[in-house]
Amino acid sequence: SVDCSFSRGVCDWKQDTDDDFDWNPADRDRGDGYYMAVPAFVGHKNDMGRLKLLLTDLKPKSSYCLIFSYRLAGEKVGKLRVFLANKKTAPVWEENKEKDEKWRTGKIEIFQGAETTNSVTFESERGKGKTGEIGVDNVILISGLCPED
């Protein structure tokens, strides 16, 4: 497995330069490192911020599982989407509201065909709300199918 978390991970993260705002580091409550977040008050409604994970060494014709923690906190905070580079048009994962503001786990299966996925993009879309944030943390890439809960 490859640790792509932000504080101590080994992965290559890039801010998209064609979007409306950047993701920023935010301190974890426990004080052990940080996660990446977009506060609700950044930008205007429907603005986008994209954070891209560059994947270099994925083998063709194999399966991987991307596991990550995420949180959507605040009223009408917006949407969090995940895109794979070789499927640019539609998100492979999307979330817009949780019953509470707890951290949850997202899982995405990445199947490598002849054409390999060379990046995963986390996209935050600004909502109408003024408080809260969208956060992503603990991104890990493991080889094989995603484990059942």
Domains and CATH numbers, the chain: 2-137 (2.60.120.200)
Q: Is the pTM of this model over 0.75?
A: yes
For the stretch 25-57, pLDDT in tens is 999 887 778 999 999 988 899 999 999 999 877
Measured CA distances, 26 to 29, 67, 71, 100, 136 (Å): 9, 20, 13, 20, 10
Is 90 exceeded by the pLDDT of residue 126? yes
pLDDT at 116 over 80: no
Residue with tokens 């409604």: 45
pLDDT tens digit string along 42-100? 889 999 999 999 987 788 788 999 999 999 999 899 999 999 986 667 899 999 976 78
pLDDT band (50, 70, 90) for residue 1: confident
Three-class secondary structure assignment of 13-49: EEECCCCCCCCEEEECCCCCCEEEEEECCCCCCCCEE
pLDDT of residue 104: 95
How many CB atoms sit inside 10 A of residue 110's CB? 20
